[in-house]
Amino acid sequence: MAAVLLRSMLPLAGIALWLNFWPVWAHAQARMESVKVAEDVYTMVNSEGSSNSTFVVTEEGVLVFDTHIATADQTLAAIRKLTDKKVVYLLSSHSAGDHATGGWHFREDKPVYIATKNQVRDLYLYGAKEFAERKASNDPRYAAHIGKELILPTVGFDGSLTIYLGGLTFQVTAEGYGHSSGDLTVYVPQRRVMLMGDLLNTEIHPGQGEMAGVYFSQVQSWIEVLDRIMQRNLPVDTYVPGHGPVHLGRGVEDLKEQKNYFVVMRGEVAKMIQAGKSLEQIQEEFEVPQGFSPYQSPDRLKNFLRLFYNQLIEKGL
């Protein structure tokens, strides 16, 4: 229950520091802490709130889920401490830079890189350009891009597929439009674990599914994706978030909290619209409801308030 403890023990000074430096460090070399989620399953939790990365060690090789060019070297180092088996599969939950750009670090193992077809499209349309721009930029946040290449998926799929590796089953599902134009999840029944990508964020305001300046997240679709996952009633002890600490053993409560977040927050924004507030006023005056008030990253909140506002105005959802 280390992560649950972390939730209650996070010192206030640490939070203040984290908030001050988060925007600058988000893409820089953040420290990753390895959390054992289940037997053979490890999540590298980004201590500054940027993206997490998970790997599963088997006798036949390693499967890696989500990599960021700025931190994937730490994922590889953690793997090498546990096994000399090759990384044979690489998957990204969606095409955002903090989840789909770290393949370069695993190039020597030549993993099969699996993504949904919508991710492949987005990576070709936007991701490659963004990577090239960041690589050419002098912005210190993107220093990790210099001298590296964007590795693109080698397999694209729609619907679902199943990987059998080292005695484990990896049920990979394209969950449809929600956080991004389509996040995939990975369910490992033998380990009672499901890797959620950014469909689940814990203790932090959700990201808006941004890639190369395009904001993909749709609140109502995201709620519906979470509903569909919950309706499966899967025997899962731990849903691993794309950002934020892993709540070991909290199970479906994390998904309920994520769904409730969207319903409650959207409701609050709707009340402010009804009271005649502009988007700027809402971003200025919004008070985060109790229960979500300890969530990290006011920047992400401000951005997401714009999505709530625009989507309510556009279609009432």
The reply to whether 51 sits near Zn ion by the rule CB under 5 A is: yes
By beta-carbon proximity to Zn ion, the closer residue of 182 and 207 is 207
Q: Please, what is the angle between helix 253-274 and helix 219-231, to 10°?
A: 150
Alpha carbon distance 291, 283 (integer Å): 19
Q: Single out the segment in contact with Zn ion by CB under 5 A; choices: 36-44, 67-75, 82-90, 237-245.
A: 237-245
Answer yes or no: are the C-beta atoms of 94 and 182 closer than 8 Å: yes
Q: Single out the segment in contact with Zn ion by CB under 5 A; choices: 18-26, 91-99, 137-145, 286-294.
A: 91-99
Alpha carbon distance 307, 297 (integer Å): 16
Which residue type does 181 have?
A: S
The number of residues that bind Zn ion (CB under 5 A) is 5
Query: How would you class 135 by CB atoms within 10 Å of its CB: exposed for 0-12, middle for 13-18, buried for 19 or more?
Result: middle
Among candidate residues 203, 200, 198, the one with its CA nearest the CA of residue 10: 203
Q: Single out the segment in contact with Zn ion by CB under 5 A; choices: 48-56, 85-93, 144-152, 244-252.
A: 48-56
By beta-carbon proximity to Zn ion, the closer residue of 68 and 259 is 68
By beta-carbon proximity to Zn ion, the closer residue of 51 and 53 is 51
Q: Please give the structure tokens belonging to residue 125.
A: 């349309």
Residues 121-180 binding Zn ion (CB under 5 A) are none
Among 73, 198, 203, 254, binds Zn ion (CB under 5 A): 198
The reply to whether 98 sits near Zn ion by the rule CB under 5 A is: yes
Q: Single out the segment in contact with Zn ion by CB under 5 A; choices: 97-105, 185-193, 252-260, 289-297.
A: 97-105
Alpha carbon distance 290, 254 (integer Å): 16
The residues that touch Zn ion, with contacts defined as CB under 5 A, are: 51, 98, 198, 207, 242
